[in-house]
Amino acid sequence: MNPITNRYEFVFLFDVANGNPNGDPDAGNLPRIDPETNQGLVTDVCLKRKIRNYVSLEKEDSPGFAIYMQEKAVLNNQHKKAYEALSIKPEDNKLPKEEAKARELTQWMCKNFFDVRTFGAVMTTKVNSGQVRGPVQLAFASSIDPVVPMEVSITRMAVTTEAEAEKQSGDNRTMGRKHIVPYGLYRAHGFISAKLAERTGFGEEDLDLVWRSLINMFEHDRSAARGEMSARKLIVFKHDNPMGNAPAHLLFDAVKVKRVEGEEDTPARSFSDYEVSVDSESVPQGVSVEEKL
């Protein structure tokens, strides 16, 4: 697979209705928020996890598309696969002394694990396979408007023991609590480097898979806490030059998201409450704009 030859940036808009897009374990799993602005937050690793999960479903058992960072994966065992495939004996915490062999190990990991050649990885564990800087990076997503997390108590009809069944107290039926955001539209920025793609072998097939993952990842991530999450817009900036034709922030500034005129004083409750526009005239020469969604 030949590496990509264009630099890209993208704006990804997604929303949540009556759900928790990214719980904070340090705050009792409340939806993450910026304490100064009350804007909702979704971490980059949360979005990368959903991309990995989508790829594992679409490319299940396909050579070259294994997932390195997966649930309950033992990373040393992942690294051993490279050593075994290349018939190299591992030394604790060390790469092979021969630079060519060390490079071959890292390249094998890139070739066989989609998320290593896409996002990069630090593989310097006891079984050392080196480090990789990935060409695809995501920033935290922030909600366009402040969000107000709600705590909702839930109850159960069944009980665990006969003793509990004899109690009539309503408190006994309380099962727990859910934390939700009534509605939030989130915006994330992404970056794809052609020069870093040369080092990992990230190619056009991988790029198309990233776009499909962003568009479809919520369709395969339903749960009681994330029943209604949807990808809404994916706006891609493509540079003619591998090094880029314009700073990323200028391109992101061209994408405007605002409330529908006349509705600014009421809480947003759907995507139709917002207008999304791209100021194509402000996009510098050498950069093209495409809406994937």
In whole angstroms, how far apart are CA 265 and each of 182, 239, 259, 270? 16, 39, 9, 14
pLDDT of residue 231 exceeding 90: yes
| Alpha carbons 60 and 178: distance in angstroms, whole number | 33
Q: Domain residue spans in the chain? A: 8-147+179-291
Q: Which pLDDT belongs to residue 174?
A: 62
Mean pLDDT value across residues 118-145 = 96
In 3D space, the residue among 73, 16, 76 whose CA is nearest the CA of residue 47 turns out to be 16
Average pLDDT over residues 82-103: 93
The answer, yes or no, to whether residue 57 has pLDDT greater than 90, is yes
Residue 254's pLDDT is 97
Q: What does pLDDT average to over the chain?
A: 92
In the chain, the percentage of residues whose pLDDT exceeds 90 is 81
Can you tell me the mean pLDDT for 51-79? 94
pLDDT greater than 90 at residue 170: no
Is residue 186 exposed (0-12), middle (13-18) or buried (19+ Cβ within 10 Å)?
Answer: buried
The pLDDT value recorded for residue 111 is 97
Return the C-alpha torsion angle 77, 81, 82, 86, nearest 10. Answer: 140
